[in-house]
Amino acid sequence: MNIVIIGIGKVGLTLTEQLSKEDHNIVIVDKSKSVIEKAVNDYDVMGVVGNGASSDIQKEAKIDTADLLIACTSSDELNILSCMVAKKLGVTDTIARVRNPEYFKLFMSRELGLNLMVNPEYEGAMEIFRVLRSPGAIMIESFAEGKVDLVELKLTQGNPAVNLSVSQFVEKFNINLLICALQRGEDVIIPKGSTILREDDQIYITASSQDICNILRKAGFRKNPLKNVMIIGGGRISFYLTKELEKISAKVKIVEKDEAKCLDLITQLDKVEVIAGDGSDQQILIEEGLKSADAIVILTGSDEENIMISIFAKNAGAQTIITKVNKLSYYSMLRASGVDSIISPRLITANQIIRYVRAKQNSKGSAVLNLYKIVNDKAEALEFIVTEKFEGISKPLKELKLKENLLIANILRGSEFITPHGGQTIEKGDKVIVVTTQGYLKDLNDILK
């Protein structure tokens, strides 16, 4: 596909990297010359320097042959305007990043001709909410229109799964799940039945989303039900998250140092308890019940402050900690320091757009329905739809010669959820979830040697 991306910030750059790897023809537009120069050197894309909302610049970016325009500058208005200009110049699909909830309404999107509006804060809040709802999970992604969940878990001390082999683990708890990847230190392992699970391993399991809560409970991951949540930082994510939490009647306490923001929050939300205070002040956090909260969500505007608070909260014995971090380079450091759940609204936004692009691509014939980067981008989980072109159709899995470091995690046949075994076959129309460390697969046939 021919894609024009306007605004090369962190989201734009993530999109540029991923989409150019997926063999799309990309033209990037940004006001800053140095940003464009660097991106053009790093990725196989074409760059245009200028104001993305100007029709001249869009024409220079070959908008007339583009299938899709993605506007992700830091300004909502510029993004919306860019999309409208592109529509007038004949682009069928447009995506805009829109943050302001006043613009973020269905009416706006339909009337302005935007095909998709993405709101990083809203998506971030939803992601945090999903993690909070599935206790013990560090991260959850869903496949097959939400029928299958991919859940990341950490094997802490005393977990009954520790020191069992993968097949013993499944046998012992008699549960329908599959461990599809595990991270031990810096290594990523695609496990076999005989792989032994160790303390501190980070495991990735796939299971039917209906059973996920049961499975987590049975396997000893379940912690206390969610009653008290403390949110540090009162920005837009906090607002969206509180709204969701109020729906499941959890008690929410927000700590925010800006008094005007505090007032805003209590006028917009009903039951929330808002504390005007500095979230980085440890005394305040302890007084406000850091230790008794079931979960701490740290969402201030500064990555560094968030990290410091999360380390403090961890040492103070808080149960579940979710930290917002935008700089991807901090991820591995944070993991090493024992902070479990890290949320990056920018990454989530980029992933959402990439999913949209893939879905659009599907209608043109590619077979990848979904792709998630897991284990710090070291492995990928992909969802394929099986067409008649697949060479292994109706053959038992044990007869297929699969590539190394690759695993067929699940098969979905209609609404039936199958955890595959050696005699299982793959049929036309199935959806297959594959986990691999082998890099980008384009077609289901690529899983074969």
Footprint of another protein (CB under 8 A): 2, 23, 25-27, 33, 40-46, 62
Measured over the CA atoms of residue 22, residue 27, residue 30 and residue 35, the dihedral's sign is positive
Closest CA to 169 of 148, 185, 153, 184: 153
Nearer to another protein (CB atom), residue 22 or residue 294: 22
Nearer to another protein (CB atom), residue 2 or residue 419: 2
Q: Are 278 and 305 in contact (CB under 8 A)?
A: no
Q: Is 262 left (phi over 0), alpha (psi -120 to 50) or beta?
A: alpha
Q: In whole angstroms, what is the distance from residue 175 CA to residue 69 CA?
A: 45
Closest CA to 439 of 391, 378, 369: 378
Nearer to another protein (CB atom), residue 49 or residue 418: 49
CB atoms within 10 A of CB 192: 10
Nearer to another protein (CB atom), residue 33 or residue 110: 33
- State the nearest-atom distance from the C-beta of 239 to another protein, in Å: 39
- State the nearest-atom distance from the C-beta of 4 to another protein, in Å: 9
Q: Are 80 and 72 in contact (CB under 8 A)?
A: no
- State the nearest-atom distance from the C-beta of 267 to another protein, in Å: 48
CB atoms within 10 A of CB 5: 28
Coil, helix or strand at residue 331: helix
- State the nearest-atom distance from the C-beta of 440 to another protein, in Å: 10
- State the nearest-atom distance from the C-beta of 125 to another protein, in Å: 35
- State the nearest-atom distance from the C-beta of 50 to another protein, in Å: 11
Q: In whole angstroms, what is the distance from residue 221 CA to residue 150 CA?
A: 15
Helix count and strand count (H, E) for the chain? 14, 22
Residue type (1 letter), 438: Q
Coil, helix or strand at residue 311: helix
Closest CA to 443 of 402, 390, 394: 390
Give Cβ neighbours of residue 37 (< 8 Å, ≥ 6 apart). 47
- State the nearest-atom distance from the C-beta of 333 to another protein, in Å: 22
Nearer to another protein (CB atom), residue 44 or residue 171: 44
- State the nearest-atom distance from the C-beta of 161 to another protein, in Å: 33
Nearer to another protein (CB atom), residue 26 or residue 237: 26
Nearer to another protein (CB atom), residue 43 or residue 173: 43
- State the nearest-atom distance from the C-beta of 27 to another protein, in Å: 5
- State the nearest-atom distance from the C-beta of 84 to another protein, in Å: 23
- State the nearest-atom distance from the C-beta of 40 to another protein, in Å: 7
The tally of CA atoms less than 13 A away on the side-chain side of residue 367 is 22
Q: Are 419 and 171 in contact (CB under 8 A)?
A: no
Nearer to another protein (CB atom), residue 51 or residue 228: 51
Nearer to another protein (CB atom), residue 25 or residue 51: 25
Nearer to another protein (CB atom), residue 70 or residue 433: 70
Nearer to another protein (CB atom), residue 40 or residue 266: 40
Query: What's the CA dihedral at 146, 148, 150, 155 to 10 degrees?
Result: 130
CB atoms within 10 A of CB 185: 9
Residue type (1 letter), 231: I
Q: Are 345 and 121 in contact (CB under 8 A)?
A: yes
The tally of CA atoms less than 13 A away on the side-chain side of residue 22 is 22
